[in-house]
Copies of this chain bind each other. A is one copy, B any other.
């Protein structure tokens, strides 16, 4: 589909995407040193342009403050918008950190000798064009730009309106850094603005290969509902900790408290705690520790009957499938492991769920039976994170099952191609009577640093 064939409203975005696709094709052939160097130049440009960026940000922030006063914006969003010299330096450091990761491209995932002189390799390569849609958070913009370029992809950035001036200044710095680069063209990082641009991007199924939303659950849901382009992300993080009959009580309390309190707004924080009825003795110390940490508790009838004097709320049906995102959780006594697994699968968001137990068979059954991106035994759900998992950088956390699942590293922005090299072999020689047999010899195991996919 060409830009000319589209309605005028989307034609401009389609043209940007076509330039991004051309840039992506050039970038895909760029040597790693050129991609790394481009990132360092972008980091340099953030320092060079510090005054212009902060001035633009100050204007966005001033407008946002009046929006907050009018009640049209949350204070949290305003805070995420604010830049200063230190935060900008952090953003530059993040870009440099992506530059020093292992090259995700050109890795051989499989190497098969089909026959003498007929060699097949499955090799990682960029996806192509990534559209990133985000709210506030200027740091997300430089981070996704760095991740995209490092993995050989073009990115089309669509910031929220509240960050428009900041985004333009950051984009100018990036464009300046890439100007004249033959390997990493400036078109590889594009900026589009306006609500119409999102609709236009989400409709470009032939030009945009992946959409990465960065922002609220509402943003992610809205994007997932509006496009047939694959979306890398997750709307909900409804994580469980199940305290088994054979749990170490002190460990169970530590894990639950960490999973809730250490950073309650995180998507991998626990929202629902299930306790086996034979571990009911854990409930009282658990509730004590949670209340002491200012965690409010929505409890089932059995828990409330057990602790009639504790300040527990009666849990509603909705509480079992709610991402509180705050110092609150739902607590429930269950009859057995099978009940726990069924509740996790039915009510959770397939993000991260943990069992605490000293019973290896119960652990194995939980880990096998729970259909989530991360399943854990005797560890806090808060470990589900690209940096903690050792992936180096995190593109996002996916609750989808295809392509990439759970914490997604740089490899989530790569795909692979099959490269067959021969000496003129033809298929006719390998079929029918007297057919030449294939050897199909796997030639090497992939290197230990191969990508996570």
Contacts and interface: CB of A to CB of B under 8 A. Distances in A.
A263 B427 CA distance: 10
Contact of A419 (B128, B375, B415, B421): B375
Contacts of A430: 388
A427 B155 CA distance: 33
Nearest to A231: B228
Interface stretch (A138-146, A182-190, A438-446): A438-446
> How many copies of this protein are present in the complex?
2
A356 B29 contact: no
A405 B416 contact: yes
Contacts of A440: 390
A441 to B, nearest CB: 8
Interface stretch (A38-46, A171-179, A326-334, A364-372): A364-372
A142 to B, nearest CB: 23
A254 B424 contact: yes
A248 interface: yes
Nearest to A268: B427
Nearest to A254: B426
Contact of A428 (B262, B356, B401): B262
Contacts of A382: 426-427
Contact of A421 (B377, B380, B442): B377
A334 B342 CA distance: 62
Contact of A422 (B378, B401, B428): B378
Interface stretch (A110-118, A162-170, A273-281, A295-303): A110-118
A379 interface: yes
B228 A418 contact: no
B209 A389 contact: no
Interface in A372-420: 372-380, 382-384, 388-390, 401-403, 405-407, 415-420
Main secondary structure, interface of A, reads: mixed
A448 B442 contact: yes
A150 interface: no
Given A28-B368, A230-B230, A450-B446, A420 B262 contact: no
Given A401-B415, A438-B388, A428 B228 contact: no
Interface string A194-217: 000000000000000110000000
Contact of A248 (B345, B368, B424): B424
A424 B257 CA distance: 12
Question: Which 8 residue pairs across A and B have the least CB separation, nearest first?
Answer: A379-B422, A258-B426, A390-B440, A251-B424, A382-B427, A402-B403, A445-B448, A374-B418
Given A377-B422, A379-B422, 7 more contacts: A373-B418, A374-B418, A374-B420, A390-B442, A402-B403, A406-B417, A406-B418
Interface of A: 25, 28-29, 109-110, 112, 114, 118, 120, 122, 127-128, 209-210, 224, 228, 230, 248, 251, 254-255, 257-259, 262-263, 345, 356, 363, 365, 367-369, 371-380, 382-384, 388-390, 401-403, 405-407, 415-428, 430-431, 438, 440, 442, 444-450, 452-453
